[in-house]
Amino acid sequence: MRVLIVDDEHLARALLREYLAGHPDIEVVGECANGFEAVKAIGELDPELVFLDIQMPKLDGFEVVELAGSKPYYIFATAYDQYALKAFEVRAIDYLLKPFSRERLAQALAHARSRQPQPEQAAQLQAVVADAAQRRGYLERVLIKDGARVHVVPSSTIDYIEAQDDYVQVTASGKAWLKNQRMSELEAQLDPQVFLRIHRSYIANVGSIARIEPASKDNYCAVLKDGTRLPISRSGYQKLREMMR
């Protein structure tokens, strides 16, 4: 089984590698010290199993899964996160509570070897990631994977978001990126005092709107500070008027 170790602490990585050395069917294909390295390594090394620390700087373990996807089997490692542990137990997601023993690691590996069917495990994993996102509160940044690169876009810089099939296009400071996420899901993660769904296909940062103009009879558009014009639905117009009073 091809294994990737992700932990920002060198000693934790070394200990895990030592424990794994006692399992001849395990091949450690790489180690990562942060979430950005992990996202790249998961894409390039295609591990079957990832040991993933939760509390890491820059990107935490849940954000790594959001960007890297649920193809590998994940075993999360954490010093203590009561909310996360409860979510794992409800969803039957594997985790190791630090410090863990060789015996506890062996149990987790045995479960990974006889893991659940991939679609079911992937759905459970994404539910845990969604729980974690909700716990963080409104997004302060939007993470976007672009090939092997990860863009971190501060929410405050986003001017508008446009729905494009199963993707959203996030436009901030004159640049645009595509993110594989549903519009409704992203909308729920953004601060409603700042971002407003002005149209079924558009979410606008209210602070980026310079003015509202008639587009035709009974139709309006929002003109952003950079001159971009966005359509406004009737319900969006009412919500926008109330917010901008």
Residue 244 has pLDDT above 80, yes or no: no
Residue 147 has pLDDT above 90, yes or no: no
* Residue located via tokens 């940062």: 205
Give the mean model confidence (pLDDT) for residues 79-95: 79
Contact call for residues 224 and 231 (beta carbons, < 8 A): no
pLDDT band at 104 (very low <50, low <70, confident <90, very high): very high
What structural domains does the chain harbor? 2-136 (3.40.50.2300), 141-243 (2.40.50.1020)
pLDDT at 38: 95
